[in-house]
Amino acid sequence: MSDQYRFIDPRHAYPVISPPVQQQPEPGLQSQADPVPDLGEETYRGTGRLAGRKALITGGDSGIGGAVAIAYAREGADVVISYLREEQSDADHVLEHIRAAGRIGVGVPGDLSERGFPAELVARAVEELGGLDAVVNVAGRQLWVPDIADLSEEQFEATFRTNVFAAFAIVKAAVPHLAPGSTIINTASAEAYSPAPDRLDYAATKGAINNLSKGMAQQLIERGIRVNVVAPGPTWSVLQVTQGVDPESLPEFGSSEAPIGRAGQPAEIAPAYVYLASGESSFTVGATLSVNGGMITP
C-alpha cells in the first residue's frame, strides 16, 4: 500500500473488514483488537505542512487520535498526547512513531473526566513544547445501551464529562496560550446528525460538541484563533470492541452504514485534521468537515 497521495478507487483504498465478535474491558487496547486499526504507520507521508507547530492531542494513544498524532509529527509538528494509564502500551507505540519522525513526542496519562486534569494537561503541554498552537480534542467515551431504561444517569453524566466537559475545559485553559494563527479542532461524529438509538448519550455529546464549536469559532476568530470540527463516520477503532457497539454487529461494522461499502480506518480520517491545522484552511472557520464514506448530512 502506497501513501495517501496515490490515485485509487476509494472503495478499495483500505480493506473491507469483517471483525469477529470480540470484547475487551473498557478502555481496551488497540494492539489487541482484531484486526488492528491502521493508523497510517506504514503509509502516511508528510510534506512539511505543520512544520514547527506545537500540538496537544487528546486520545492520542490509538484510533483517530493516534493517527492524527503520527500524521502531525510527519508533517513537522511536536506533539503531546493524552491517554488513560491503562492504555500506556498503545501510547508507547504512537510515541515511538512521533519520535522516529524526528519530533518531540510526550505522553501525559490521566483521566480527562476528572476535574482539574484538563488544565493540568494544557500546562504540561505548554511546558514540554515551549508553547502551544494546536489543540485537537479526539478522546471520547462510547457505550452501547439498547434500552433507555438501562442507561443510568451516572453513565450519561460520565459520557458528557469525557466528551464535552473535558473538551470545553481544555479549550478554556489553552486559549491564553494561543497566539493568532493557532487552531482548535474538536471531534463530533456522523451521529451528531443521525443518532444511533442504542447510543443516546454518545450521540447527544457529539451534537453538543458540534454546536459548542460553532459558538467558540465565532468568539475566538476575533483573536485570530480558528475553531473547526471533524465529524467521522463509522471508523474501526478499539472504541468499537469495548462495549461501544452491539458486539453481534461487529462482522458488518461500517459496511451497511456508509455508502462507500466499508468502515473507515483512522489513517483515512487523520488528513482532515492536518488540513484544518494547516495554513491551507485559513478561511475555514466554524466548519464541520464530515469524513464518513458518503453518509448524508445536513
Query: Catalytic residue numbers?
Result: 202
SS3 at position 264? strand
Q: Which residues pair with 83 in a beta bridge?
A: 109
Whether 184 and 286 have beta carbons less than 8 Å apart is answered as: no
CB count within 10 Å of CB 33 equals 22
Residue with cell 489543540: 135
| CA distance linking residue 57 with residue 146, whole number of Å | 31
**Among residues 139, 136, 171, which one has the least CA distance to residue 53?**
136
Whether 183 and 225 have beta carbons less than 8 Å apart is answered as: yes
CB count within 10 Å of CB 6 equals 10
State phi, psi for 145 to the nearest 5 degrees: -135, 105
